[in-house]
Structure 1
Amino acid sequence: MPRYCAFFASMNVGGNRLKMTDLRDALEREELEDVETVVASGNVLFSFDERPSEGLSEMLAWIVRDRFGFDTFAAVRNADEIRAAFENNPFFGNGEDRLVHTLFLDAPADPAKFAAMLAAYEGRGPERIALGEGELYVDYVECVGPSRLTGAFLERRLERRSTARNMTSLRRIYEKMT
């Protein structure tokens, strides 16, 4: 059975508190197998019959909304896609792993909206930003917390939902999957 990781957005931040044991139990009731959480920020490893990632994303978001009452987005990736999320990140290897992030988008970003977002952010901070296929790559350079390049800014400008993970987390998850 194929193995996946679901990267949930807005979990255990901004009031959307959820115990990972409760999430794991809910997903196991929906016939996901070998469910394992990795840290408390909404990373869930699981096995499931072959199915397009988009369908899994919708199913997982529905489970959280139905069982726990909050809206989320789940980016679902297999091990090869997770490896690509750090290997294709142009800042991986030339920035601090904890500051270099891959933001998984709910769909590919429009290049024109990405260019407009870059123009709107020009001069606001030291971050380096690049567009991938269904990802956005960011090197926060100095610090993530006080950065003005927030998820809300990116989502509003790109008109895409996203969830971010740093290189340390992605490599740790990839190693658990392989």
Structure 2
Amino acid sequence: MHGVGLVRGINVGPTTRVAKQQLVDAFEEAGLVDVRTFLASGNIVFDADRAPGESERRAVEAGIEARSGVAARVLLITEQEFRRIADANPLLDAGDDFSKLVVTFVGADLPDGVKVPPSDELAPELVRLGTRAVYQWCPLGVSKSKLPASFWKSVGEVATGRNWRTVLKLLEELDTRN
């Protein structure tokens, strides 16, 4: 079984540095194999005998902190689920700059009652909800997103975003494993 690991908030500043080998070691110690990292911001593809669960997720988080001193949240997603989330992206026609098209993966199904603010409050940004993802088109740039912190708190405990270019790179790597 192939899977994707997404580590939240590492290597985005001097206090969140985690070396590639520290990531690989943390994933391998949690029982995941053929671990490969991509880019510098916590994108991992791995293999496993079975779908990783909560114990593996916690083990990876503990391993990263023990090795680097950085406490980071981790999502472990099966290849099938990662592809389903990517295939469900309703905003692929919103624009052609894939650095401004973002998929935020969440650790569980979005809770009932999660509401996107009215479109006139977000414009020109577009936001759509999936089952385990939030899709955003941020034409002014991700750093200028108008989604309030209260929205992000409502989506769940673990969430981490990737721009569409990164999603495509992870899909390419998964393709090489099949």
TM range (shorter): 0.7 to 0.9
Aligned partner of 1:3 in structure 2 is 2
What corresponds to 2:110 in structure 1? Answer: 109
Whole-angstrom distance in 2 between the partners of 1:56 and 1:31: 7
Instruction: Say if 1:59 and 1:30 are closer, same or farther in 2 by CA, change over 3 A.
Output: closer
Q: Following TM superposition, by how much is the alpha carbon of 1:118 offset from its aligned partner in structure 2, in angstroms? A: 1.6
Residue number in structure 2 paired with 1:18: 18
Residue deviations 1:2-53 (CA, integer Å, cap 9, x gap)? 1211011111125311111222133334443211101000011111221344
- C-alpha displacement of 1:148: 3.3
Q: What is the aligned partner in structure 2 of residue 169 from structure 1? A: 166
Question: SS in structure 1 opposite 2:18?
Answer: coil
Could you tell me which residue of structure 2 aligns to residue 149 of structure 1? 147
Contact 1:53 1:77 in 2 (8 A): no
> What amino acid is aligned across from residue 49 of structure 1 in structure 2?
D
Deviation at 1:108, TM superposition (A): 2.0
Q: Supply the AA of the counterpart residue of 1:132.
A: G
Whether contact under 8 Å (1:86, 1:92) holds in the other structure is no
Distance 1:20 1:131 in 2: 32
For the residues of structure 1 that align with 2:59 and 2:117, how far apart are their CA atoms?
33
Contact persistence 1:7–1:42 (CA under 8 A)? yes
Amino acid aligned to 2:144: P
Percent identity over the alignment? 24
In structure 2, relative to structure 1, the CA distance for the partners of 1:83 and 1:135 (3 Å cut) is: same
Q: Distance in 1 between matches of 2:157 and 2:120?
A: 20
Aligned to 1:138: 136
Counterparts of 2:92 and 2:75 in 1: how far apart (Å)?
20
Amino acid at match of 1:37: T
Deviation of the 1:124 alpha carbon? 4.5
Change (3 A) 1:64 1:158: same
Q: How many residues align?
A: 173
Q: Structure 1 residues 20 and 64, CA, compared in 2 at 3 Å: closer, same or farther?
A: same
Alpha carbons 1:92, 1:167 under 8 Å: kept: no
| Preserved contact between residue 99 and residue 143 of structure 1 (Cα < 8 Å) | yes
CA gap of 1:111–1:176, structure 2 versus 1, over 3 A, is same
Q: In the superposition, relative to structure 1, how do residues 167 and 87 fare at CA in structure 2: closer, same or farther (>3 Å)?
A: same
CA distance in 1, matches of 2:164, 2:112: 24
TM-aligned CA distance change 1:122 to 1:9, over 3 Å: farther
Task: Give the superposition deviation at 1:122.
Answer: 5.1
Q: CA RMSD in A?
A: 2.3
Question: Which runs of no fewer than 5 residues in structure 1 stay unpaired?
Answer: none
Q: Secondary structure at the match of 1:118?
A: coil
Question: How does the TM-score come out when normalised to structure 1?
Answer: 0.83
The aligned amino acid for 2:56 is L
CA-CA distance at 1:125 after TM superposition: 4.3
